[in-house]
Structure 1
Amino acid sequence: MSVQLRVATFNIRNSSAPDGDDSWPLRREATAAAITELAADVVGLQEVLPDQLDDLRERFDGWEIVGAGRDDGVSAGEHSVVMVRPGAWTIASYATRWLSPTPETVGSVGWDADLTRIATLVDLKHSDGQRIGVLNTHYDHLGEIARLESSRLLDQWATPDQPWILMGDLNAEPGSPPLKVLTDAGWTDALPTEAGGTFHDFTGEADERIDHILVKRLEVVEASVARYRPGGRLPSDHWPVVATLRA
């Protein structure tokens, strides 16, 4: 019997950024409303700092929310959070790994990356027993080699015993070398080419599509870039991507 799953990825912009009228205290309610509007079973978030995580845990009480800080493997630094709505899907297990040649080394920086980067790995379990793996990540913004090697690393972690979802801010556009590594390895980009961009730098006008949902051994029912502005406010400097999948 097939099961459906609605997933989303959203870079919510870290709270330490000097964003003035778009700073976190002024838009956190809009960000939470935008997440709710996605109506997703599973949401992968990037750039989540501890104060933002506290806000999200309060707003999304009852959800499973997992992910460690990239600096210390516990709570320090940005998190690549995975949120699971109460319902048929639950988290069987999860782990944090670093995007580096030594992925188990806390705080390790990979290749030519400018910053420490991580992925959160989640083993999802449906009430009927179906298992799906999730990789939520944020690639480095400067390291070209790091982005390539990160794609190779994530593909290696996607074991062939179950379907997989890879989502996050990959700081790379469709057809670029890091994305080609994944599609050549059998990953399918959920978004159609005409879906438009995701990064807009608080303008609302997005030309770059650097946020992605890719899948292995899953059918894409539909996918889109979500451009909801609660009360007219931009919830982040990125638009989220949402997809309905079938296993």
Structure 2
Amino acid sequence: MLKAELNRRALLTAMATLPLAACAHRVGANPPGDLGVATFNIWHDAGGHWPARRALLAAALREADADVIALQEVLEDSKKGLPNQADTIARDLSYAAVHFVAPEPEGSPKRYGNAILTRLPVIEVARRKLAPLSDYRTAIRVRVRTASGPVDIVATHLAWQPEAAAVRAEQLADLLAWLPTDGTPLVVMGDFNAPLDDPGLAAMGPPRFVSALPQGAAETTLNPARGHKPRVIDHIFADAAAFAVSGARVIGNTPVDGEYPSDHFGVAARLTRR
């Protein structure tokens, strides 16, 4: 009975706030030259409370007011009657575009992967299965048009095992080699399953990249209330030559009636063009 009431309240909250989304997310609402970005591992439909968590995810992301959002652990499952979760969240937030990548081919009854939502004009989209293919990891790149010119946004989700630093290094090497070399500024976001000092993330350090959350800036992006040891493994890496980080924070880390949006917390950042 309590679960049903929680789900009912969450759905009513989501429905009540939807008309506000278009006002809260106006293209050009942020200062020219600024780019708002956010990343969130949404924990697919785990925990048994997807309707409630959906409302909390939408609330956290709406408050972040990001121009581009990267999502991980996005599920679509026709056998369960579950539409693509990124499509659902995009509708909740009134974002104009959502792009999805998964190891499974389009048309499969179940697909699980990464997504990018944006309210900015999209110039092009590219998708990649990352090496080694045996780990079933993917990346998606969306080139968006900003007031300061095009920017490439990448979302990814790397190998999870603590001892898999070499696999993460291989995945990032494959990802970076796949990207265009035309000088377009780059932001890479997602669940890297490792802290900044993990050897597997060495390619994402200076001088090429700056982390929105430097070492020690946050206690955790894993939710201890869901049994995780505190660690910061969700990151936003910005092209250091193109962007300065003007602000960053953890989002979705406050429960509502004992429920959290996910077993991760999100990260939101404001980037300013140099």
When normalised by structure 2's length, the TM-score is 0.75
2:57 aligns with 31
Q: 1:195 aligns with which of 218, 234, 240?
A: 218
In the alignment, the residues of structure 2 paired with residue 74 and residue 178 of structure 1 have an alpha-carbon distance, to the nearest angstrom, of 33
In the alignment, the residues of structure 2 paired with residue 62 and residue 220 of structure 1 have an alpha-carbon distance, to the nearest angstrom, of 24
Indicate the SS of the match to 1:195: coil
Q: Does residue 1:12 correspond to 2:42, yes or no?
A: yes
Indicate the SS of the match to 1:36: helix
Q: Equivalent pairs: percent with the same residue?
A: 31
Q: Is the 8 A contact 2:130 2:139 kept in 1?
A: yes
Q: Which amino acid aligns with 1:135?
A: V
Q: Which amino acid aligns with 2:59?
A: A
2:249 aligns with 224
Taking a change above 3 Å as real, the CA distance of residues 219 and 70 of structure 1, as seen in their structure-2 partners, is same
1:234 aligns with 260
Q: 1:191, CA displacement in angstroms?
A: 0.8
Q: 1:2, CA displacement in angstroms?
A: 6.4
1:92 aligns with 123
Q: 1:79 aligns with which of 98, 110, 113?
A: 113
Q: Does residue 1:132 correspond to 2:151, yes or no?
A: yes
In the alignment, the residues of structure 2 paired with residue 31 and residue 136 of structure 1 have an alpha-carbon distance, to the nearest angstrom, of 18
2:204 aligns with 182
Q: 1:167 aligns with which of 189, 199, 215?
A: 189
Q: Which amino acid aligns with 1:13?
A: W
In the alignment, the residues of structure 2 paired with residue 2 and residue 61 of structure 1 have an alpha-carbon distance, to the nearest angstrom, of 21
Indicate the SS of the match to 2:193: coil
Give structure 2 stretches of 5+ with no counterpart. 1-30, 77-82
Q: 1:73, CA displacement in angstroms?
A: 4.8
Taking a change above 3 Å as real, the CA distance of residues 62 and 2 of structure 1, as seen in their structure-2 partners, is closer
Taking a change above 3 Å as real, the CA distance of residues 222 and 184 of structure 1, as seen in their structure-2 partners, is closer
Q: Which amino acid aligns with 1:81?
A: A
In the alignment, the residues of structure 2 paired with residue 92 and residue 74 of structure 1 have an alpha-carbon distance, to the nearest angstrom, of 25
Aligned pair count reads 228
In the alignment, the residues of structure 2 paired with residue 145 and residue 158 of structure 1 have an alpha-carbon distance, to the nearest angstrom, of 24
Q: Which amino acid aligns with 2:126?
A: A
Q: 1:185, CA displacement in angstroms?
A: 6.0
- String of CA shifts for 1:54-76, please: whole Å, max 9, x gaps: 42243133421111332115664
In the alignment, the residues of structure 1 paired with residue 152 and residue 69 of structure 2 have an alpha-carbon distance, to the nearest angstrom, of 13
CA RMSD of aligned residues (A): 2.4
- String of CA shifts for 1:82-128, please: whole Å, max 9, x gaps: 1112xxx3111111101115xxxxxxx24xx3xx11001111112x4
In the alignment, the residues of structure 2 paired with residue 64 and residue 163 of structure 1 have an alpha-carbon distance, to the nearest angstrom, of 20
1:212 aligns with 235
In the alignment, the residues of structure 1 paired with residue 107 and residue 139 of structure 2 have an alpha-carbon distance, to the nearest angstrom, of 13
In the alignment, the residues of structure 2 paired with residue 218 and residue 45 of structure 1 have an alpha-carbon distance, to the nearest angstrom, of 22
In the alignment, the residues of structure 2 paired with residue 186 and residue 26 of structure 1 have an alpha-carbon distance, to the nearest angstrom, of 39
Q: Which amino acid aligns with 1:77?
A: R
Q: 1:144, CA displacement in angstroms?
A: 3.4
When normalised by structure 1's length, the TM-score is 0.83
Q: Which amino acid aligns with 2:170?
A: E
Q: 2:75 aligns with which of 29, 35, 49?
A: 49
Taking a change above 3 Å as real, the CA distance of residues 57 and 188 of structure 1, as seen in their structure-2 partners, is closer
Q: 1:64 aligns with which of 94, 97, 104?
A: 97
Indicate the SS of the match to 2:101: coil
Q: Is the 8 A contact 1:167 1:212 kept in 2?
A: yes
Q: Is the 8 A contact 1:158 1:164 kept in 2?
A: no
1:144 aligns with 165
Higher alpha-carbon Rg: 2
In the alignment, the residues of structure 1 paired with residue 118 and residue 153 of structure 2 have an alpha-carbon distance, to the nearest angstrom, of 11
Q: Is the 8 A contact 1:196 1:225 kept in 2?
A: no
In the alignment, the residues of structure 2 paired with residue 154 and residue 100 of structure 1 have an alpha-carbon distance, to the nearest angstrom, of 8
